[in-house]
Amino acid sequence: MSDPQIDGDDGDGDDGFDAGNTALAPTAAAVLAHIVTSIVDNPEAVEVDASEHRGRVRLDVRVGPGDLGRVIGRRGRTAQSIRTVVRAAATRDDASADVDVEFIDD
């Protein structure tokens, strides 16, 4: 299984963000990437992007169209659980995080 593409990864193997995203929420992004790649059928298609939005860290996770339902879950329960865990991980980064799930349209 390969690592998901995390936007800002400089390819030096440390799976951290480059200087532009260092202060955002690297722990929360890593937790999000790990959880999502664990539940999807196509982990190579998972992409996590971190940005700042209204004083909070916004983590966008993109998955293949066939995996969107797996990440959302029944009645959105899986997505809500992922958000809860990622928000807890973001406290380790001294940040507040929001998670948005999108699918990659090929």
In the chain, the domains with their CATH numbers are: 5-103 (3.30.300.20)
Q: What's the pLDDT tens digit per position in 48-70?
A: 999 998 889 999 999 998 899 99
pLDDT digits over 79-102, tens only? Answer: 999 999 999 999 998 999 999 998
Confidence of residue 3 (pLDDT cuts 50, 70, 90): low
Cα 69 from Cα 44, distance rounded (Å)? 17
At which residue do the structure tokens 């298609």 appear?
Answer: 45
Q: How confident is the model at residue 13 (pLDDT cuts 50, 70, 90)?
A: very low
Distance separating alpha carbons of residues 29 and 5, to the nearest angstrom: 11
